[in-house]
Every structure is written in structure tokens, then in C-alpha cells.
Chains A and B, each alone.
Chain A
């Protein structure tokens, strides 16, 4: 409800600078209307190393080596009832070997070894993989289930370059503002509560321990400091970047603990060490299931950062046919519903919503809600090129990483 009320404000804000995205998403079911030919302000990205797109999917090679987020490729070894890999092997004959990647950075490093056929990459890894020549363009015609994937996820800056798709969307979610209802009695509606120097929750605030969290500060500044003219929290020039970093340095005084391991985040919330801060829906679900503390989550009026994951094919994949079969399998309505419910995110497949065991699931996660999805500033790899008329004056991920060390002091 809060979300809907703040939509008006957001409509103005949520141009998000993802101009490419606005163009592609606006033209609904014709994903061909993509960035390169797009509207005013969109710039063409430099061309990545040429990769060959598959033209047909032949018989499976019998093997498939994947890098995946924990919970994305479950074969029953975590929980006997959670298994969509074994049925895939039975259907395709592809034996699946899964390597869990703990961070986007680890996934990029693993992909560089060339030993894997595919990866479930988040937006802050995809461009690095594309420009590193580690992944190949994807022929979406060879993935029948691609047709019914939410249009607002197709050909976005984090899964396509210059109108060429580099992967199949898997699922997405927003980083929400989580609060302990017993301590934070009036529900917050702004990220201001985690940045306010006079916060009564000093020492109990949490923040995500990754350079990509700088975007959260930038997103807040975009709404509160219009003079900085921030259009996209991942495209920050010197002045904007400094402002975001300064805000985070000041926030450090409030932060009790930074989290990156979600189980650690759950324990900190349950013990009361953390009462307020950025979080994931899956963390909120786990805390609510344990019933130790009462918590609430909101999507603040400034919008939020989030992730949108994409299955990508390695450019040197030894088993490309199996990978194409896998991408179609994981985005099929039933399987995509299973994954989304297990992980706690919105499924990319629109038809997945008919297959969830909890019928209200897609509503909880706003899976089909384009307006909600547009409020999210999805994790994207920051590059020197600003993606608009400013040229190459923006801070790249290396600068973000160094700044993150400085922020933590």
C-alpha cells in the first residue's frame, strides 16, 4: 500500500537514468526496440569482443557445468524435497555439476577459468563477463520459454549490449528496508533513517558489505539532493561519487555491523544487534518464520536498489546444447516458480505465477508489477563510460572498491 501511495513521487524519480531500459520496457512486447536505436540521451556502448551465437540446439552433450547462486540449482542435496536438477537430467540426459558462487566477484573469477558452461549472473557481474569475452550472445529463439518472460526484464542494460541479448532472465528482487517492530515503532518510509546522523538507532543500523552499496547512498541523494543531478546511482561522476562516499562515511558511525552473509544477517536481527537497515526479502522471510522478533519491510519512497539475475552461456562452453536446454528448463513455468519460492524473489517467467504453491506469492513479490520493478535500480557494473552525454567521467568498479575500503576506515 505504501508502495502505491508513493508511486506518484516515484514516477518522477524513476526515470532512473536507465534510459535504454525505459525505451525497451515502454515498448512492451517488442523487445527488438532496444537501446541502440533508442530515444534521446541513450548512448551506444562500446562493442564487446565478438562472440558467436548458437544457431540450433542439438542433442545434449551429457554434461553441464554451472556456476550458480546458492538455491538456484538444487538437486535435493540441501533438502530432499527441493530438487529440479534431477528431473532436468532425466529429461535432457545432461548430468549437472553445480559450483556455488558466493559473490558476483567470485562468479566472474570462476568464469574466467573457462571450465564452466554457464552462470547465473547478477547485474553487477554481467558487463564484466560480457566485456571480458567470457560469455557469448544468446539466441533467444532457441529458448522457447523466453517468449513469456516479463517484458520489463528483456534487453536491459544488465543483460544486453547494444540490443544483443547475452542471457535469459531468471528472477529479480529489491533490497528492502527491514526494521524491528518492537524498537522502530513508527514504520519508516524513507532511507533517511539509516543515514540520519541524529538517528536514535545509532549502533543498531546495518548496511550491505559490498562496494555496490554505494549505489544505495547515491539513490538516496538522487531524491534528497537534486543539485547533484544524479540520474542513475551506478553512473556517478566525481562530485556525485564523493557525495555518496561522504554520506556513507558519516553513516559508518551509525552502523553496528555490515552484512554480506545472509545467515549472519538473520542472526544479527534475531539477537537485536540489528534493528534497522537494508535487507533481502529472503532474510525477512527467514526471520518471520523463526518468530523470534517481529519485523517489517518497506520499499522506501526513494525507491531501492535490487538484483536481476541472468543465465549466461560461456563463450567457450564445452556443452552449449545442455546449457540451452538448462536455460529453457529453469525458466519453464513450474521450475521457475519452484526456484522463486525457494529463494524468495520474483520469478522472471510470467506463467510461473500460476504454478506457485502459495497463490499469493507473485503478489507478495510484485512479480508482474512493472511499476514496482521500475522503481528498482538494479545492480549494474559501474564503468568509466557514464551511459549518457557526460562521456567517460564516471567512476568504475575499481574506484568503488577502493572507496568502500575508505568508507569502512
Chain B
């Protein structure tokens, strides 16, 4: 807002408003605080506050008979989590699936995004961007159940592989990874596409003029410049995979992931303290991942 206008407006308003306006004008810090207080309050109360509540809850326990909370601090939940081998197995499996999904998405997204950004005509580019975005308009559940049908015994995948003597992976961890990779692919393609779009064509031409092969150009020019974008995409694919518990219920067969442990303790056992303790694992895993990612400068690409 223009300062002159502000002053004219203040003259017409009652004295109190004018005084307040003048006060804010003289104290930019107060003005800033006023502007930011609502979003900051949201961040502090709704986000950090709930994390803090979760941390406190994880130290409580439940009366197993009445399922009422027992508000006495104990480390039992963490002891169980660390000593029962099953939680370690499930945690490692979840990290493995999240990493696999990220790698698969990156491998598919790089050539796709490269074609979109550097090869396709502007018209084809717009169509391809639309094609990548369209699946995001369909419900998550619809897509997961579609994969369930495709991966089923008499499904499309088995039918297509039968002539060559193969068969699909059936329901299980592999099916879960495939479905998750499909679900989160747009979240990888879009940042990589944006990163490649920013890459000047002249760099590729210069590399070619200096005699580099296509492979060399990719390794020495494209990859280093686009890596932060890939890492930015991986934040989405990794964290979304780590937190997912529905896909594995639909196509995971008899398998489970770490988010299921949390979900089962809320929904089945009504053991919120244990669920809270377990939920700290993905939080810590993502925080660690973000710390590592920060060094690559990928956070500037978001």
C-alpha cells in the first residue's frame, strides 16, 4: 500500500484507528508480528503443538482392561519398540520399500521429464504435463484398487505375462512397491521437469560442441544440475511411502509396513501411547532424511 494513501485514509477514520495505524507505521516489527501471528500460531499450535502432545503421550500407557489412559511417565513403549525384533524388521522393510519406490520413480521420471523439457514440442509438452497431472485427480483408493485387480490371480498382468511363461508378483511387498511407485510418480516427475526446464539448452549444445557424447553430457552436465530437483522429488516419494498404510492393506497380501503398526495400535488396540511412540520413528527418519537432503541444496528447489 502507498504511504500517502494510508495517511489520507487515516485522516478520515476515527482517532483510535488513526493512532493505531500510526503506531504500526512507526514500529515495523510489531507490524510484522501482527501479520505473521496467525500463520505462526497455526504452525506452533496445530503442528508443533500436536507433535509435542504426541511426544508426551508416548510416555504414557493404557489400562489394558478399560482402555483408559494412565498418565504416568514410563519408557515401556520405547523399550518394547527397541527390544521386540518384529518392530525392527517392519521398520527396515518400510525404509526399504520407501527407498525402492524413490529409486524406481527417479529412474522412470528422469527420461520422461527430459523428453518433456527438452525434446517435445511446446504443444506436446503441455499435453504431457496434463497427462502427468491427470492421475492426481483420481482418488487414491480407486487407483490402489485398480492395481489390486490388475495384480490379482486372473488379472491383466498375469494374462499379459502368460504367453512368455511369466506371472505377476502376486500380492505382497513387491506389489506394494509397484503400486506406491505408480501413485507417487507425478510427485517425482514434476520437480525434475521443473529442474530440467531451468537448465539452459546452450549448456547441452556447448557440451556437444566440445565433443562429449550424449552419455557424457548426461553424466557431467545434466545430472549434477538436475540432482537437487531429483532429491526434492525424492522427499515426496520417500515420505509419502514411509507414511502409507492403505496400499499395503489392499495389495500387500499378508505383509505389513510400519505405518500399519501405528494404525493398528490406534484403531485395533486403542493403545494411543504406543502408537505415539511408534509414530516417532517415521518422524525421526524423515528429519534425518531432510538433514541429509539440505546439504544438496534440494530444499531450494521445492
Closest Cβ–Cβ distance, residue A349 to chain B (whole Å): 31
* Chain A 273-312 interface mask (CB, 8 Å, partner B; 1/0): 1000000000000000000000000000000000000000
Q: Which of A203, A399, A409 has the most CB of B within 10 A?
A: A409
* Chain B 51-73 interface mask (CB, 8 Å, partner A; 1/0): 00000000000101111100000
Q: Are A108 and B269 in contact (CB under 8 A)?
A: no
Q: Are B154 and A272 in contact (CB under 8 A)?
A: yes
Query: In the assembly, what is the distance between CA of A188 and CA of B89, in Å?
Result: 35
Q: Tell me the interface secondary structure of chain A in the complex.
A: helix
Given contacts A256-B171, A267-B148, contact A128 B268 (CB under 8 A): no
Asked whether any CB of chain A lies closer than 8 Å to the CB of B254, the reply is yes
Closest Cβ–Cβ distance, residue B247 to chain A (whole Å): 13
Asked whether any CB of chain B lies closer than 8 Å to the CB of A384, the reply is yes
Query: In the assembly, what is the distance between CA of A131 and CA of B155, in Å?
Result: 48
Q: Which residues of A contact B170 (CB under 8 A)?
A: 203, 256, 273
Q: Are A105 and B268 in contact (CB under 8 A)?
A: yes
One of A210, A256, A272 near B254 (C-beta < 8 A): A256
Asked whether any CB of chain A lies closer than 8 Å to the CB of B250, the reply is yes
Closest Cβ–Cβ distance, residue A144 to chain B (whole Å): 33
Given contacts A203-B170, A257-B253, contact A396 B86 (CB under 8 A): no
Given contacts A401-B268, A402-B80, contact A131 B66 (CB under 8 A): yes
Closest Cβ–Cβ distance, residue B41 to chain A (whole Å): 27
Which residues of chain A in 86-141 are interfacial with respect to chain B, using CB atoms and an 8 Å cutoff? 103, 105-106, 108-109, 112, 128, 131-133
Which residues of chain A in 323-338 are interfacial with respect to chain B, using CB atoms and an 8 Å cutoff? none
Query: In the assembly, what is the distance between CA of A131 and CA of B253, in Å?
Result: 36
Q: Are A271 and B269 in contact (CB under 8 A)?
A: no
One of B65, B155, B267, B270 near A396 (C-beta < 8 A): B65
Q: Are A255 and B267 in contact (CB under 8 A)?
A: no
Q: Which residues of A contact B171 (CB under 8 A)?
A: 256-257, 273
Closest Cβ–Cβ distance, residue B142 to chain A (whole Å): 14
Asked whether any CB of chain B lies closer than 8 Å to the CB of A383, the reply is yes
Q: Which of A128, A210, A271 has the most CB of B within 10 A?
A: A271
Q: Are B256 and A408 in contact (CB under 8 A)?
A: yes
Asked whether any CB of chain A lies closer than 8 Å to the CB of B112, the reply is no
Total interface residues in chain B, CB < 8 Å:
33
Q: Are B148 and A409 in contact (CB under 8 A)?
A: no
Asked whether any CB of chain B lies closer than 8 Å to the CB of A343, the reply is no
Asked whether any CB of chain A lies closer than 8 Å to the CB of B271, the reply is yes
Which residues of chain B in 256-302 are interfacial with respect to chain A, using CB atoms and an 8 Å cutoff? 256, 261, 264-265, 267-271
Q: Are A405 and B270 in contact (CB under 8 A)?
A: no
Asked whether any CB of chain B lies closer than 8 Å to the CB of A53, the reply is no
Q: Which residues of A contact B89 (CB under 8 A)?
A: 409
One of B152, B154, B268 near A210 (C-beta < 8 A): B268
Asked whether any CB of chain A lies closer than 8 Å to the CB of B197, the reply is no
Given contacts A257-B254, A271-B152, A405-B261, contact A132 B68 (CB under 8 A): yes
Query: In the assembly, what is the distance between CA of A131 and CA of B65, in Å?
Result: 7
Q: Are B254 and A258 in contact (CB under 8 A)?
A: yes
4 further A-B pairs in the complex, CB-CB below 8 A; given A271-B149, A397-B269: A256-B170, A258-B254, A384-B64, A405-B90
User: Which 6 A-B pairs have CB atoms at the shortest separation, nearest pair first?
Assistant: A401-B269, A398-B64, A272-B153, A271-B152, A255-B254, A406-B86
- Interface residues of chain A, those whose CB is within 8 Å of chain B, are 103, 105-106, 108-109, 112, 128, 131-133, 203, 210-211, 252, 255-258, 264, 267-268, 271-273, 383-384, 396-399, 401-402, 404-406, 408-409
- Can you list 11 A-B pairs with a CB-CB distance of less than 8 A? A105-B267, A112-B67, A271-B149, A271-B154, A272-B154, A273-B171, A399-B64, A402-B84, A405-B86, A406-B84, A406-B86
